[in-house]
Structure 1
Amino acid sequence: MQIIVVGCGNVGQTLTQQLSKEGHDITVIEENSNVLQYVVNSYDVMGIVGNGASYSIMKDAGIESADLMIAVTESDELNLLCCLIAKKAGNCHTIARVRNPIYKKEINFIKEELGLSMVINPEEAAAGEADRLLKFPSATKVETFSRGRAELVKFIVTKNLRICDKALRDIPDDLKKQVIISVVSRDNEVFIPDGNFILRAGDEITIFGSSRNTLTFFRKLGLPTAKVPSTIIVGGGETGFYLAKELISIGIKVTLFEKDASRCKELSELLPQALIINGDGTDKDMLLEEGITSVGSFVALTNLDEENIMLSMYVKSINPKAKIITKVHRVNYGDIIGSLDIGSVIYPKNITADRIVQFVRGMSASKDSNIETLYKLNDERVEALEFIVRKGSPVIDVPLAQLNLKKGILIACINHYGEILSPTGASVIKDRDSVIVVTTHTGLKDINDILEN
């Protein structure tokens, strides 16, 4: 597809990198010529220096023939204006990054009036990911497929679990029938495991299954499945606000630290059921006074990555049972963070870019593939794709054990008219089923691509 990206900040660069890698024709618009030059040289895309809200700049970028325009500058108003101009000049799909909570109340009106295809709020998206993790404290990551009916859940294998030091084929049937263990990450290596693969303590494994079966699987393993009872959040920015509001709505006790006194006053009015503390959340004495050693979870949401990481390490050392979530902006910290025991890490710019990329894949699916959803896993070394199976496909009505699958491919889940199935070798795929495939291959566009020629 022909795509125009306005704004080359963190999100814009991540988007450009991902969409270019997936074969789209990308033109980027950015006012800072040095930043633009870096992006053009790094990702082999077209670049135009200028204001994305300029009609002439949009024309130079090819708006009249573009399929999609994505505005991710730092200004909400500029992003919305870019979308308005793009819609009038090219009648293409438009996506805007909008961060101001004031607009959230009116977002449906704005979308309808401006004809936006999608609005993404980075802080709200990051809070949503943290919220899912606090509802499912045993997990390090939770994503949904099949419109929420199926879940991808990551967690760490510990020595005391029934599945530790067992080959997959020897895992007890009461566990095996619940979910499919589809990816294993060990010592910086990633595996799509077969029945002979032996799970070890410290492995991070990815499972697929229905929400109900995933809960049953965790319960049978003896892992916590109930939401955390309480949380301490450090950082009262928009992400902290959105997260606190959601947690309060489901009965979780929230204590929130914020250094800025005027922001504390504002948060006290917006979140009357939360305990808002005007203080430095990095102050150990204050944390101890507010019960950090016994709290159910801790979320570090300051604007400093180093501060968040150090805070999480400290809390882990004094309250090892707490569910810990750490916000990190710089993805290049990934290798270092991976070696630290600081629970779940959320990357706001990646979350934002991933949501937009999923929308783009949905658009592409209607054109030249049947991909419904796609997630990149394990530092983009693994893909989880949801395909819609169409009539005439050679995978239909053939037992999975008889399919000649390419190496590095696993069928993780089948959605048959809303019923989520964890497949066995005897399972068959039917017309109009959606099928989740986990693979180390890239570029799969059709369910038929999983088969050897």
Structure 2
Amino acid sequence: MRIIIVGCGKVGSALAEHLSSEGHDLTLIDLSERRLEDLTTSLDVASVKGSGTSYHVLQSAGIEDCDLLIAVTAHDEINLLSCLIARKASGCHTIARVRDPEYVSEVGFIRDELGLSMVINPELSTARVVSRLIRFPSAIGVSTFAKGRIELLDIRLPSGSRLAGMPVCEINVSLHTHVLLCMVRRAGTTFIPKGDFILQAGDDITIIIPPNEQVYFFEKIGVPHSHIGSAMLVGGGKISFFLAGILLNSGISVKIIENRLDRCEMLSELLPGATIIHGDGTDRDLLDEEGLATCGAFIALTGMDEENILLALHAGRHSKAKLFTKINRVNFEEVIESLPIGAIIRPKQTTADLISQYTRAMQNSMGSNVETLHELRGAEALEFRVAAHDLTGVPLQDMPIRPDVLLCCINRRGKRIIPRGQDILQEGDTVIVVSTREGMNDLQDIFLPRETEEQRP
């Protein structure tokens, strides 16, 4: 597709790298010539220096032939105006980043009245990701599908876990559960495991499990599971504001430590149910005084990655809290992921996931749209809507599904089905697929090509 990105800051740069890697034809617009030079040097993209609110600049970028315009500058109003002008100029699809909390309650109205395809608030989306992880304190990652009715949980197997040394095919028989193990990550490699795959301590596994079996399963495999009743947030930015509101509504007590007095005063007015502390979050004595040792969740959300990492390391040594660490940069990713800093929160990745989900849906060829997309380490988890197709009604065991693909759940009118060989797909179902093969746009992509299928013995 031909895509124009307006704004080449952190989010715009990340999107350019992500969408360029998927083969899209990109043109970047920014007021900074240096930013444009950096990206055009490293990526195969075109660029235009100027404002995305200028019709002439948009013309120079090829707006008449554009399929999608994404506006992600630091200013909400510029993003909205860029999208509005693009819609009038070419009728293309438009996505705007809107970050101001004052607009949150008006997002639906803004999107509909301006004719936008999507409005994204990265901080609100990130806060929702963290809140889901707090609901599942045993998980290091949660991916939601079917409008929140189905969750894929990522768990790290501890030393001495009952699952260590056990083949995948024996899990449910041995533990008397109904768990589906979808994926295993080990030493930087991602596997779609077969029944004879042997699990090891330290593996990161992705599972689907019935809600009523979760506590029992976690206890059996040696993963602690306890309700989180309190959270300490260091940094009072937009993510903290949105997250605190979600947690307070869930009955979790919230304490925010922020070093800017004016921000503390604003948060006190907007979040009367939270405790707002004016102070330096890196002050060890302050953390101890405010109850670090007894908090259920510790979330490092300052504007500096290094500071967040040090805070999480300190909290891990002096508390039993579930740890969350916000990381913006991807440098030294393997080193960062090996540190005991809990769940790593990447706002840019959350935004890229949402936009990739939309671009994949625009590209589909047979009508089986990508409904939901989650980028996992070394894999993707996608939700497709099933359209009429010659394979609907065919038992799964007779379908030519690729070996690097696992069809792990069917959502049929709100009913969750863990698929077996005799199950079939029906029009209107949504199916959740996990694969180490990236770039799938359509349900058709999970099947072997017909010539390959014909060559199979």
Scaled by the length of structure 2, the TM-score of the pair is 0.92
Query: Residue in 2 aligned with 1:347?
Result: 346
Query: Residue in 2 aligned with 1:205?
Result: 205
- Relative to structure 1, is the Cα distance of residues 20 and 116 closer, same or farther in structure 2, using a 3 angstrom cutoff? same
> How far is the alpha carbon of 1:99 from its aligned partner?
1.4
* AA partner of residue 95 (structure 1): I
Query: Residue in 2 aligned with 1:427?
Result: 423
Q: How does 1:305-324 map to 2 (within 5 A)?
A: 305-319=305-319, 321-324=320-323
1:405 aligned to 2:404? no
Q: How does 1:174-253 map to 2 (within 5 A)?
A: 178-209=178-209, 217-218=217-218, 221=221, 223=223, 227-253=227-253
- Relative to structure 1, is the Cα distance of residues 66 and 164 closer, same or farther in structure 2, using a 3 angstrom cutoff? same
* AA partner of residue 360 (structure 2): R
Taking the aligned partners of 2:440 and 2:254, their CA distance within structure 1 comes to 44
The answer as to whether partners of 1:373 and 1:385 remain within 8 angstroms in 2 is yes
**SS at structure 2 position matched to 1:131:** helix
* AA partner of residue 12 (structure 2): G
The answer as to whether partners of 1:395 and 1:403 remain within 8 angstroms in 2 is no
Taking the aligned partners of 2:211 and 2:172, their CA distance within structure 1 comes to 20
Query: Residue in 2 aligned with 1:22?
Result: 22
1:439 aligned to 2:435? yes
Query: Residue in 2 aligned with 1:449?
Result: 445
The answer as to whether partners of 2:325 and 2:341 remain within 8 angstroms in 1 is yes
> How far is the alpha carbon of 1:292 from its aligned partner?
0.8
- Relative to structure 1, is the Cα distance of residues 264 and 445 closer, same or farther in structure 2, using a 3 angstrom cutoff? closer
The answer as to whether partners of 2:168 and 2:195 remain within 8 angstroms in 1 is yes
Q: How does 1:53-132 map to 2 (within 5 A)?
A: 53-132=53-132
5+ residue gaps, structure 1: none
The answer as to whether partners of 1:146 and 1:415 remain within 8 angstroms in 2 is yes
**SS at structure 2 position matched to 1:293:** helix
Query: Residue in 2 aligned with 1:136?
Result: 136
Taking the aligned partners of 1:331 and 1:211, their CA distance within structure 2 comes to 34
Query: Residue in 2 aligned with 1:364?
Result: 363
**SS at structure 1 position matched to 2:411:** strand
* AA partner of residue 418 (structure 1): G
- Relative to structure 1, is the Cα distance of residues 436 and 116 closer, same or farther in structure 2, using a 3 angstrom cutoff? same
- Relative to structure 1, is the Cα distance of residues 76 and 175 closer, same or farther in structure 2, using a 3 angstrom cutoff? farther
**SS at structure 2 position matched to 1:57:** helix
1:335 aligned to 2:331? no
The answer as to whether partners of 1:209 and 1:413 remain within 8 angstroms in 2 is no
The answer as to whether partners of 2:353 and 2:373 remain within 8 angstroms in 1 is no
> How far is the alpha carbon of 1:211 from its aligned partner?
5.0
Taking the aligned partners of 1:222 and 1:158, their CA distance within structure 2 comes to 7
* AA partner of residue 385 (structure 1): L
> How far is the alpha carbon of 1:175 from its aligned partner?
5.2
**SS at structure 1 position matched to 2:294:** coil
**SS at structure 1 position matched to 2:127:** helix
> How far is the alpha carbon of 1:214 from its aligned partner?
5.2
* AA partner of residue 389 (structure 2): G
Deviates more, 1:292-301 or 1:435-444: 435-444
The answer as to whether partners of 1:179 and 1:214 remain within 8 angstroms in 2 is no
Query: Residue in 2 aligned with 1:256?
Result: 256
Higher relative contact order (CA 8 A, sep 6+): 1
Taking the aligned partners of 1:411 and 1:219, their CA distance within structure 2 comes to 27
Deviates more, 1:57-66 or 1:252-261: 57-66
Taking the aligned partners of 1:364 and 1:356, their CA distance within structure 2 comes to 13
The answer as to whether partners of 2:53 and 2:85 remain within 8 angstroms in 1 is yes
Taking the aligned partners of 2:272 and 2:343, their CA distance within structure 1 comes to 28
The number of equivalent residue pairs is 449
> How far is the alpha carbon of 1:161 from its aligned partner?
3.4
Query: Residue in 2 aligned with 1:383?
Result: 380
The answer as to whether partners of 2:172 and 2:178 remain within 8 angstroms in 1 is no
Taking the aligned partners of 1:7 and 1:245, their CA distance within structure 2 comes to 29
Per-residue CA deviation, residues 53-74 of structure 1 (Å, 9 max, x unaligned), is 1100111112123222110011
> How far is the alpha carbon of 1:395 from its aligned partner?
6.1
Taking the aligned partners of 2:351 and 2:234, their CA distance within structure 1 comes to 22
- RMSD over equivalenced CA pairs, Å: 2.2
> How far is the alpha carbon of 1:298 from its aligned partner?
0.3
1:289 aligned to 2:286? no
Taking the aligned partners of 1:209 and 1:10, their CA distance within structure 2 comes to 36
